[in-house]
Amino acid sequence: MVKFELENCITNKEELRTLVGEPSERAKNKVISHIDENCRNYLAMSPFLMMATSDSEGNCDSSPRGDAPGFVQVMDDQWLVIPERPGNKRLDSILNILSNPSVGLIFLIPGLEETLRINGQATIIKDEKVLKEMHVGGKVPLLGIAVKVEQCFIHCAKAFKRSKLWDNESWPTKEVLPKPAKILAEHTNLPGMTEEKVAEGLRESYSKRMY
């Protein structure tokens, strides 16, 4: 593979705006600073979000969160709470939030090409009276991510239209998809950690440790 080298880079805002132009009045005015009824309805139907965080040094991470539609609880017009379900205990998002509370969220609804973006300040909570409302099968999350909304707005559908994400006729066949177990086995590179053992571990985790 030929080594990639950066050339002809944009280095300042003025150069960027000269090339791209300014946003429309609608684009500039669409941002609100609270959760209104429209956003509340969107969140009630959303089963999935992506959360962007960074640590105090600016090292970034993006992490998915998913559950039944409406799993994110809207507490009032400023606050929402995301339950922290069991995972691999890396806690990348949680650790980032402890050093830098700024987060960016993108909410999706299957079949809807417009997404809802929320930016705000996050706090890690262990408030049982809040978290017990998010139980599944009697299992209450140990932690939650409370986000105070600073920006809330709809993002247009162009990315979904270009990618045809919800068009199942454009999806690749299962046979050609990447194999997560194979990738994990090769990336971890631990003695005896074969693709088959990783696949077995994933199946057990998905069947027994979802909540």
Kindly state the tokens that stand for 126: 């262990």
Residue 198 lies in a domain: yes
Residue 94 lies in a domain: yes
% pLDDT > 90, the chain: 100
**pLDDT, mean of residues 47-60:** 97
Under the banding of pLDDT at 50, 70 and 90, the label for residue 191 is: very high
Residue 138 lies in a domain: yes
State the number of CA atoms in the 13 A half-sphere of 82 facing the CB. 31
**Strand-strand pairing, 102-108 and 48-54:** antiparallel
Say yes or no: 38 and 124 in one domain. yes
CA–chain centroid gap for 125, Å, is: 19
Say yes or no: 89 and 118 in one domain. yes
Residue 5 lies in a domain: no
Q: What is the pLDDT of residues 141-189, one digit of tens each?
A: 999 999 999 999 999 999 999 999 999 999 999 999 999 999 999 999 9
Cα–Cα distance for residue pair 178/189, rounded to 1 Å: 18
**pLDDT, mean of residues 17-28:** 95
Q: Quote the pLDDT of residue 53.
A: 98
Under the banding of pLDDT at 50, 70 and 90, the label for residue 55 is: very high
Say yes or no: 37 and 102 in one domain. yes
**pLDDT, mean of residues 58-76:** 97
| Residues 6+ positions from 113 with CB-CB distance below 8 Å | 157, 160, 161, 165, 166
Residue 7 lies in a domain: no
143, 104 contact by CB (below 8 A): no
Its pTM stands at 0.95
**pLDDT, mean of residues 107-133:** 97
- What domain range includes position 193? 172-208
C-alpha distances (whole Å) from 62 to each of 94, 116, 170, 182 are 12, 16, 25, 22
Residue 77 lies in a domain: yes
Say yes or no: 43 and 128 in one domain. yes
Residue 16 lies in a domain: no
Burial bucket for residue 49 (CB in 10 Å: 0-12, 13-18, 19+): buried
